[in-house]
A and B are shown apart, each in its own frame.
Chain A
Amino acid sequence: MYLVKLALRPWRQAWMSQVISVIAVALLLFSTGFVFWLDQALKPVVSRLQHEQILTAYLSTELSQAAEAKTLDSIRTSLGASADRDLKVVNAEDFLKKLKVHYPELTRELQDLGEESLSIVPRYVSIAGVFSPSELGAAMDSIKAIPGVESVETTQERAKHSLSAFETVRWVARTVAVGLVLSLFTGLLHLSRMNSQLHRDVAGLLKNWGASAWTLRLPGVFSGWIVGAMGGLSAGMLFLLGGEGLATQLRALAPALAAVPIVSPGLSLALVVGGMAAGVLAGFFGEQSYQRD
């Protein structure tokens, strides 16, 4: 229709504003997409930290070989039949081996200690698995009560720290996303207010020929759609091209972030659609010239 041609008027009369708006929309949408993705990407990380625990039961050093086997049995039975828990016994020899691998500079000192070293290094049972918070407490209590177990530790305390850090990042990301979406919409709304001034004359004319309010809004809606679509497409392209790199960078940041997923193409698509929708809505509500009598 001819009204589409009118929608291009802002590109002739105020093209700088349109171009800058497209860039702004692209950057805002990209940032929104990024923080949204960050929030989503941290979800599996947080849930893993919350539920995947390692319980470590230190066995008393005086425990005899036979008593140790009994203690281990008791630990196994107290954990129940859950198959997804990985029970690993680390005896003194294993511990020393590990120590030598990880800290080769200690080899000498350990050799000097000889047989004595076996009696001072800890023996422990590590149980890795998914525990609910209540399960964890119960498991700790029951294992602690088993004779031969000196103390029980969990990674919960350690995880709490990073957990609250990641939770904070998620909340900040969500707040920033809301702020970005709001500023995106206000920006588009103001652009469309300005654009509607540019075809005020035409709106008055069309109105006097009997155009409906819907018809009068069309040029504004088209103008908004164009800016929103161009911004959305640019942001989507940025994500398609740079999304994988982004995930790789984030994963390298900390071991806990290894579970961060790559950016899905769905997000790029959502940005394009979101840009168009924001443009259309802003065009619809920003168009004021039709209100003139």
Chain B
Amino acid sequence: MVSFGLEGGAVISLQGVSKWYQGQTKVLDHVQLELKKGDFLYVIGGSGAGKSTLLSLLATEELPSSGKISLFGYDLATVSPSTLRAIRQSLGYVPQNIRLIPDLTVFENVAISVSLAGSRVLKKESRARILELLDVLGLAGKKDKAASSLSGGEAQRVAVVRALARSPEVLIADEPTGSQDRDFTWTLMDLFMRSNVAATTVVVATHDREIVRRVRKPSALLKAGRMSVEDGLCTL
């Protein structure tokens, strides 16, 4: 695990971040955001509001069209490739479109993500943790099944395990409960909260208002690319 030595500093910092695609109106418009170690934030908003766009910027999948994004104090536009790698190794990202590797089994999908984050050879503890997470999410019996054979909800839970098993410093989850029934929704939220208690910074995008109501945490509303505070506690 990389130590960024940023006790008290912002883990995630967005300054005037805008994003637009060729010939389109702004998907994100001057977004300001600052999250410290151990913060938790919901990003809510209607379909097409820009939630996934924001999260993919946080996951270093894309660069903003203007403005500045810093992770662990490093400006993503100017960071060196090796530091960028180290940053990426400390992130856990659950993309909305899941993206499992279909050629690999469920266990291998998780294991490859874990081994890229830490030691090349999977440690005993890591293996145990993967199996435990799979078990909690009702996937123990599927661990040797091909990822391509899973249902949408199962694949989504594997994507969550894949992100959590690497014990990330920042967890970015895009509609992680989108295809889940109520039971699994609360199990997933419980896992996120536990990880957050262990000082992981968590960002969850959702349009499920019930989650936000029942698991009370700060939330930010995206509407036509502009961000506003829905429920305080975080600096915008």
Residues of A at under 8 Å CB distance from B? 2-3, 5-6, 8-9, 12, 201-202, 205-212, 215, 293
Give 30 A-B contacts (CB < 8 Å), ordered by A residue. Answer: A2-B104, A2-B108, A3-B112, A5-B103, A5-B108, A6-B101, A6-B103, A8-B103, A12-B103, A201-B99, A202-B101, A206-B112, A206-B116, A208-B60, A208-B88, A208-B93, A209-B88, A209-B89, A209-B91, A209-B113, A209-B116, A209-B117, A209-B166, A210-B85, A210-B86, A210-B87, A210-B88, A211-B116, A212-B85, A293-B63
The smallest beta-carbon distance between B176 and chain A, in angstroms, is 17
Residues of B in contact with A (beta carbons under 8 Å apart): 59-61, 63, 85-89, 91, 93, 99, 101, 103-104, 108, 111-113, 116-117, 166
Partner of A210, one of B63, B99, B104, B117: B117
The complex places the Cα of A211 from the Cα of B166 at a distance, in Å, of 14
B116 closest partner in A (C-beta): A209
- A208 neighbours in B (Cβ, 8 Å): 59-61, 88, 93
Q: Name the residue in A6, A201, A205, A293 with the highest tally of chain B Cβ atoms < 10 Å from its Cβ.
A: A205
Query: What residues on B are CB-neighbors of A9 within 8 Å?
Result: 103
B201 CB to closest chain A CB, in angstroms? Answer: 17
In the complex with contacts A2-B111, A210-B116, A205-B101 CB distance below 8 A: yes
A residues near B91, Cβ cutoff 8 Å? 209-210
* Number of inter-chain CB pairs below 8 Å: 46
Minimum CB–CB distance from A15 to chain B (whole Å) comes to: 14
Q: B104 to chain A: which residues have CB within 8 Å?
A: 2, 5-6
> Which chain A residues lie closer than 8 Å to B103 at the CB level?
5-6, 8-9, 12
Q: Which B residues lie within 8 Å of A215 (CB)? A: 116
A212 vs B111: C-alpha distance when bound (angstroms):
17
* A residues in contact with B111, CB < 8 Å: 2
Once A8-B103, A208-B60, A210-B117 are accepted as A-B contacts, the answer to whether A2 and B112 lie under 8 Å apart by CB is yes
Task: State A205–B112 Cα separation when bound (angstroms).
Answer: 11
Q: How far is the CA of A3 from the CA of B111 in the complex (A)?
A: 11
Distance of A149 from chain B, by nearest CB (Å): 84
CA distance A8 to B93 in the complex (A): 27
Q: Once bound together, how far apart are the Cα atoms of A248 and B225, in whole Å?
A: 80
Is the CB–CB distance between B99 and A205 below 8 Å? Answer: yes
**B126 CB to nearest chain A CB (Å):** 14
Q: Please name all residues of chain B whose beta carbon is closer than 8 Å to the beta carbon of A205 when the two chains form the complex.
A: 99, 101
Please, which residues of chain B bring their CB within 8 A of the CB of A6? 101, 103-104
Shortest A171–chain B CB gap in Å is: 48
Distance in Å: Cβ of B156 to nearest Cβ of chain A? 16
Other A-B pairs beyond A2-B112, A210-B85, A210-B87, 7, CB < 8 Å: A6-B101, A206-B112, A208-B88, A209-B88, A209-B89, A209-B117, A210-B88
Pairs A-B, 7 closest by C-beta atoms: A210-B89, A210-B88, A209-B116, A2-B112, A210-B85, A2-B108, A211-B116
Beta-carbon nearest neighbor of A9 in chain B: B103
Shortest distance between the CB of A1 and any CB in chain B (Å) = 8
**Which partner residue on chain A sits nearest B89 by CB separation?**
A210
CA distance A293 to B62 in the complex (A): 8
Closest chain B residue, CB of each to CB of A212: B85
Q: Tell me the complex Cα distance, A8–B103, Å.
A: 9
> Of all chain A residues, which has the CB nearest B2?
A210
